[in-house]
Amino acid sequence: MKTLTINCTVNYCEEEPEVTWCKILGTDCKPLNAAVKTSWNQSSNHSAVSFLTFFNITLNDSGQYRCKAVDVRGISSVGHSITVNVSGQDSRCSLEVRVPRNIAQNVSLMKTLTINCTVNYCEEEPEVTWCKVLGTDCKPLNAAVKTSWNQSSNHSAVSSLTFFNISLHDSGQYRCKAVDVRGISSVGHSITVNVSGPYPCDTEIVHCHFFRTTSALPLLTVYCTVKYSEQPPSFTWCKQERDTCTSMDDTRRIEIGWHQLNKHAGISSYTLYNITSNDAGYYRCKASVHHPCVAQSRWSHSIAVSVSEISPTATEDCILGSHNEVLTILLTVGRFLLMIVVAAAFVMLLVFGFQKLKGKQNEQKQDQEMIGIPIDHAGGQEQVTGRPQDTTEVVSDSDEYENVPV
């Protein structure tokens, strides 16, 4: 905390040269700031002494210093270095990077994130750098991130590291490091950055289905439903031919459309006009995302299209195996099921007719019994014969005892 003055003698010609002082840091000599004072004392016509004065000298001021003189012709001269050693204790001066332990920042993809570290220093601002921890090393960052310095007090400041349009690759641990003019360094604790999706690296083709229409000029439309996060992906359609899927680029016969279902889902449509037998085959949809975070594509399963003389049809192919074998199996099973349905319907019709006839006969028998017509159980009415009528007379009790004497 004392005052120290060092000097160098300068001999020159006609005009006084410009004299500057610097502090040696490695192979460079860094110009000094306003914390030190320089002065000029003329000793003769062509000779003078330049002074460098330290007020309230600190441990940070230890080091080697040089003076440099440059005249009006641009000719320069540099003196030998002067070593300054400051001893004692400086309680108010220490270089320290302060970052709390176990700091973690969570951020969504494509957002902006800023992380900070506080730097306490002595007289001169230290040099602060940021790096990303990779194993046992800490790799310096590139220009994709921005650092800034915010002075909070005379001997304290905050260094900030800002990520713009942060990507999944920016996830990791970061540290800041401060180095002062004495070469003393301090490193803060690591700060963890967690970047989460989904956009646009989480696109999913949910389902592909078909829709069949017929008109004067036959056409066929197939659809793929797609879920995504923030921005719809781009779509291409192709026709599967063996191991490759050939893009369809005949714009006169095809039309690709998009129908928005909600904020995070939509349907891509592919329409074929003037259908011919050559259009039969297997078609697929591809959803693609092109973004700095990651390039991603999603393929749909195959959509089988068969063309007949009547109208085009499309079916989903969700079965593993040869396409021709799959179609043959499906047609065989379909015919067998159709025969079963027709036979069952015929049997049910016969049963229903028999039950209806039997019910009608039962109704006739009940009607005949109600009107007293005997029923020939062999199959008809009984013949009425000439048997005499039963003429038994029923006499009341009053008539029977009418003439009985009392």
Per-residue pLDDT at 206 exceeds 70 = no
Q: What is the per-residue pLDDT for 315?
A: 53
Segment among 123-127, 283-287, 288-292 with least mean pLDDT:
288-292
Q: What is the per-residue pLDDT for 374?
A: 59
Identify the domain boundary among 274, 301, 323: 323
Q: pLDDT (tens digit, 9 = 90+) per residue, 356-400?
A: 888 877 777 777 777 665 555 544 444 444 444 444 444 444 444
**Alpha-carbon distances of 54 from 64, 118, 213, 222, 380, rounded to whole Å:** 13, 27, 92, 83, 143
Q: pLDDT (tens digit, 9 = 90+) per residue, 133-166?
A: 998 899 988 766 788 999 888 788 999 999 887 8
Closest by CA position to 150, among listed 113, 178, 105, 117: 117
Three-state SS letters, 108-144? ECCCCEEEEEEEECCCCCCEEEEEEEECCEEEECCCC
Residues 233 and 133 occupy one common structural domain: no
pLDDT band at 256 (very low <50, low <70, confident <90, very high): confident
Q: Give the amino acid at 281.
A: G
Residues 100 and 30 occupy one common structural domain: no
Q: Give the amino acid at 122.
A: C
Residues 133 and 224 occupy one common structural domain: no
Q: What is the per-residue pLDDT for 177?
A: 93
Q: What is the DSSP letter of 244?
A: E
Segment among 4-13, 211-220, 385-394 with least mean pLDDT:
385-394
342: which residues sit within 8 A by CB, 6+ positions away?
none
Per-residue pLDDT at 86 exceeds 60 = yes
Residues 102 and 184 occupy one common structural domain: yes
In whole angstroms, give the CA distance from residue 77 to residue 128.
32
Chain-centroid distance of CA 356 in Å reads 66
Q: What is the per-residue pLDDT for 242?
A: 77
Residues 276 and 223 occupy one common structural domain: yes
**Any domain includes 399:** no
Across residues 253-269, what is the average pLDDT? 81
Q: What is the per-residue pLDDT for 143?
A: 66
Which two three-digit tokens encode residue 378? Answer: 């062999």
Residues 222 and 319 occupy one common structural domain: yes
Overall residue count recorded for the chain in this entry: 406
In whole angstroms, give the CA distance from residue 325 to residue 283.
17
In whole angstroms, give the CA distance from residue 306 to residue 303.
10
Residues 60 and 101 occupy one common structural domain: no
Range ranked top by mean pLDDT from 62-71, 276-285, 314-323: 62-71
Mean of per-residue pLDDT scores for the chain: 76
**Any domain includes 398:** no
Residues 13-43, buried b or exposed e (16+ Cβ, 10 A)?
eeeebebbbbbbbeeebeebeeebeeeeeee
Question: Hey, what long-range contacts does 206-214 have (CB within 8 A, 24 or more apart)?
Answer: 206/265, 208/285, 208/300, 208/301, 208/303, 208/316, 209/316, 210/303, 210/314, 210/315, 210/316, 211/314, 212/311, 212/312, 212/313, 212/314, 214/311, 214/312
CATH number at residue 276: 2.60.40.10
Identify the domain boundary among 284, 307, 323: 323
Q: Between 311 and 47, whose confidence is greater?
A: 47
In whole angstroms, give the CA distance from residue 304 to residue 280.
8
Q: What is the per-residue pLDDT for 318?
A: 39
Residues 209 and 311 occupy one common structural domain: yes
Q: What is the per-residue pLDDT for 296?
A: 65
How many domains does one find in the chain?
3
What's the sign of the alpha-carbon dihedral 333, 335, 339, 341? positive
Given a contact cutoff of 8 angstroms between Cβ atoms, the answer to whether 33 and 124 are in contact is: yes
Per-residue pLDDT at 64 exceeds 80 = yes
Closest by CA position to 85, among listed 106, 64, 70: 64
Residues 140 and 168 occupy one common structural domain: yes
Domain that holds residue 46: 4-84
Q: What is the per-residue pLDDT for 394?
A: 41
Per-residue pLDDT at 306 exceeds 60 = yes
Residues 145 and 187 occupy one common structural domain: yes
In whole angstroms, give the CA distance from residue 266 to residue 235.
11
Closest by CA position to 86, among listed 1, 8, 24: 1
Across residues 115-126, what is the average pLDDT? 89
* Residue 94: count of CB within 10 angstroms of its CB: 15
